[in-house]
A and B are shown apart, each in its own frame.
Chain A
Amino acid sequence: MRENLHRFFRAARGAGVRLSPAESIDAMRAVSKVGFTDRTILRDTFLLTLAKTQDEKKALGDCFDLFFDQPEPQSPPEDGKPNEQDAQGSNAASDSPGETSGGDEQAEGLGQLAQMLLAQDRNQLSAAIANAASAASLSDIRYFTQRGIFSGRILDQMGIQRLRDDLDNLAATNPALAERLTTALDGLRGTVRDTVSQALMLYGREEAENLRNEILRNAPLSRIEPRQVEQMRHLIRQIARRLRERYSKPRKRQRRGHLDVRRTIRRNAAWGGVPFLTAWKRRHRDKPKIVALCDVSGSVARVSDFFLLLIHSLHEVVDDVRSFAFSGHLIEVSDILESKSPEEAMAEIMSKVGFGSSDYGSSLADFEDEWMSAITPQTTVIVLGDARSNNLDPRADIVRRIAERSKRLVWLNPEGRMAWGWGDSEMPRYSTFCTVVRQCATAKQLERAVSDIVASYQ
């Protein structure tokens, strides 16, 4: 049973539940207290000891059901195809040794596998599959491309070679039996395939997901296929959540150990300077203040979705964010982003200012006229845009003034460095005033950029 528990832990890791060895030891101890008799108690025990969040509990619960939920082997089988059998039920199967009743007198002299198939003994078959699966270390399966290899290995372990020889011999001597054996073999193949698929679901899910996320993370935002958009949004939300967890800690903290002499003396003046009450030095940190300007014009339409999504998540991480969207002119969108869900907010912003041709000059002028006072020496200004101004006046002087007023000016450009300055791109002119200019075309770069901005206030 311990072997089974270890396999379950691995399956749980595959389901995305993070398990440390210490946790598995705890689970073992807990299981030894409650025993295996009651399945709901066992399930609750695992949920209590292994899963640490609500999501993990759900994942682990599903994994538990998949792992331990085996249809009991039925005997006698009505039909020759044991196809819904799975190999993970080795414990149930190996406890009840199947009876090799032979049945066919012609089966004499055949290999073990052939006899098993002809006898239609499900218990024995599933036990054999389970043994072969563990011999082929099926629980190492990670990617769906490995399915063929593992199926082959399991069949090899079970002695398919011998079976083929038997089939060849029988084809000449006893065609009817050979046909039965062939059908049974097809059934066996199906079962093994199902076993491998189930193992892939149990053990390979996490790897596959990591791989997909990693690919998505590095994919250019502008070239994402429609079917990936939903996954991408999910990923960006994950990024936002991570940022929030990392940076939403309380900002004020007392530092013990450094006596604030001035305040201590003042506080204890009433006792003639005998320090009854002590005051300790405190470290102050700047609160993040962010002003975000997001280009939503036609030229960046494909990435502006993600920019807005990220700004939306910024609103959740940082208290003091003011965001603006522009193409031909500029409007403030803080309220929309704060009060609505990401999808609604994006639709509303797009309908108000989206998809126009961009005019950086007049948008910047709009900003200077109305909201320049929003920028203080503690503010970080983030501009998300490609700086393509359709050959209109770029008004770099306003960018200079913004840079002078603010703590930092960060420009995130979805285009590659090569394209900056070509055609109507005004990037070189703007970049002289920016503290940081970054290319920001993939989710990974986006995460890095935002993380750096928030980290500078820690």
Chain B
Amino acid sequence: MADIRPSASIEAVESGLAAQGYIASRQIATAVYLAQQIEKPILVEGPAGVGKTELAKAIAAWRGMKMIRLQCYEGLDEAKALYEWKYAKQLLYTQILKDKLGEVLGGAPTLEAALNQLHDFGDVFFSKEFVEPRPLLQALEQPAGCVLLIDEIDKSDAEFESLLLEILSDFQVTIPELGTVVAVAPPTVILTSNSERDLGDALKRRCLHLHIGFPEQKLEERIVESRVPGISQTLRRQMVSFIHEVRTLDLKKLPSVSETIDWARVLVLLQAPELGHEMVKDTLNVLLKYEADIEATMPQVSTFIAKASRQNVFG
């Protein structure tokens, strides 16, 4: 225990992700480090747009691995997530091989002998050639390992969760006709969830649970800096503190990091030198996605701008 320097390795993760344009908080970096060390999936929860999916992309880019993404939705089943028999191909092959089969079985005097001969061929039509691998199976078959992103797991059914358990804990799947497929190199698994429904305990138990909330002001400024390089420091600071003020309101959908970045891009495009009253009012629809939210924020805009610029002077 004495020879490891965890803080150094965690910093390495942090800087590695930063090189890919993903500014991670200490907790995120710790999670990524631990996931690699004890080979566990990370379950990332948090509001929409705080960079849950981005995290997986950044890890894949940083480690130079392929990213395989499985988007979950209601009604997703193993045929679409895990593997499927190429049914049409099987049918086609039986049609083509019909004559061949006749030849093979032609010599058999009785039905029983024919059956026995058929058994000798084994399960020709249930072999690897006829399996169509879907994202989960693909992830296990990557020789160099990969980042498997299971996006919005909360959208899928509870049954699908149970299907994932085997993969998450042992990195293997069992296909009844073929046997168990074990991962060549254990993939780094990231699951994301918007907490639309509560996930089962069994699934949660197998994962490291990471909650990404809205970042602190300093961190968010760094994120904007890395994502929108053209923005001036004054404007950056003002807009981030403005957004932090907006987040204190009781809104239907709070602006998250992705909205901050979008807004920063818009402001740069419009060549705003600093946060102005009119400018904010015109571009508020980038930040807020509901009419009611915009109406609720409108009267507060001047106060927030004043606060933001004051903070800029003193902070």
Contact = CB atoms under 8 A, between A and B. Distances in A.
Interface of A: 18, 20, 22-23, 26, 29-30, 32-38, 40-41, 44-45, 47-49, 51-54, 57, 245, 248-250, 252-254, 256, 274, 276, 278
Nearest to B196: A248
A41 B77 contact: no
Contact of A26 (B4, B26, B38, B87): B38
Interface centre among B2, B33, B88 (most CB of A within 10 A): B33
Interface stretch (B117-125, B178-186, B198-206, B220-228): B198-206
13 contacts: A37-B6, A41-B7, A41-B30, A44-B31, A45-B30, A48-B31, A48-B34, A48-B208, A48-B209, A245-B197, A249-B157, A250-B74, A256-B77
Interface centre among A32, A33, A252 (most CB of B within 10 A): A33
A57 B31 CA distance: 14
A45 B35 CA distance: 11
A54 B159 CA distance: 24
B1 A32 contact: yes
A34 B197 contact: no
A285 to B, nearest CB: 14
Given A30-B38, A48-B210, A38 B157 contact: no
Interface centre among A54, A252, A274 (most CB of B within 10 A): A54
B91 interface: yes
- The list of the 5 closest CB pairs from A to B, nearest first, reads A34-B6, A52-B204, A33-B37, A44-B30, A48-B208
A250 B7 contact: no
Given A20-B205, A35-B2, A41-B6, 4 more contacts: A33-B34, A34-B34, A52-B205, A256-B77
A62 to B, nearest CB: 16
A257 to B, nearest CB: 12
B6 A253 contact: no
Given A30-B38, A57-B211, A276-B91, A250 B205 contact: no
A35 B4 contact: yes
B10 interface: yes
Contact of A253 (B31, B40, B157, B198): B157
B229 interface: no
Contact of B26 (A29, A44, A276): A44
Contacts of A34: 4, 6, 30, 33-34
Contacts of A52: 201, 204-205, 209
A41 B74 CA distance: 37
Nearest to A246: B198
Interface in B43-70: 45
Contacts of A276: 87-88, 91
B75 A47 contact: no
Contacts of A33: 4, 6, 34, 37-38
A249 B198 CA distance: 10
Contacts of A253: 75, 157, 159
B29 to A, nearest CB: 9
A48 B44 CA distance: 10
A103 B66 CA distance: 71
Nearest to A31: B1
Given A44-B26, A49-B208, A30 B34 contact: yes
A263 B88 CA distance: 18
B27 interface: yes
A243 B216 CA distance: 35
B77 A49 contact: no
A245 B26 CA distance: 32
B245 to A, nearest CB: 23
A51 B45 CA distance: 12
B236 to A, nearest CB: 27
Contacts of B158: 249
A252 B74 CA distance: 9
Nearest to B74: A250
Nearest to A274: B91
A53 B197 CA distance: 12
A278 B209 CA distance: 39
B122 to A, nearest CB: 24
Contacts of A40: 26
A154 to B, nearest CB: 32
Contacts of B208: 48-49
A30 B37 contact: yes
A22 B27 CA distance: 22
B205 to A, nearest CB: 6
Given A254-B75, A276-B91, A51 B209 contact: yes
Contact of A250 (B4, B26, B157): B157
Nearest to A32: B1
A53 B46 CA distance: 11
A287 to B, nearest CB: 15
A249 B91 contact: no
A253 B26 CA distance: 41
Contact of A44 (B27, B37, B159, B201): B27
Nearest to B158: A249
Interface in B74-98: 74-75, 77, 87-88, 91
Nearest to B207: A52
A287 B2 CA distance: 60
B198 A245 contact: yes
B209 to A, nearest CB: 5
Contact of B38 (A29, A250, A274): A29
Contacts of A44: 26-27, 30-31
A12 to B, nearest CB: 14
Interface string B1-34: 1101011001000000000000000110011011
Contacts of B157: 249-250, 253
Contacts of B88: 276
Contacts of B75: 250, 252-254
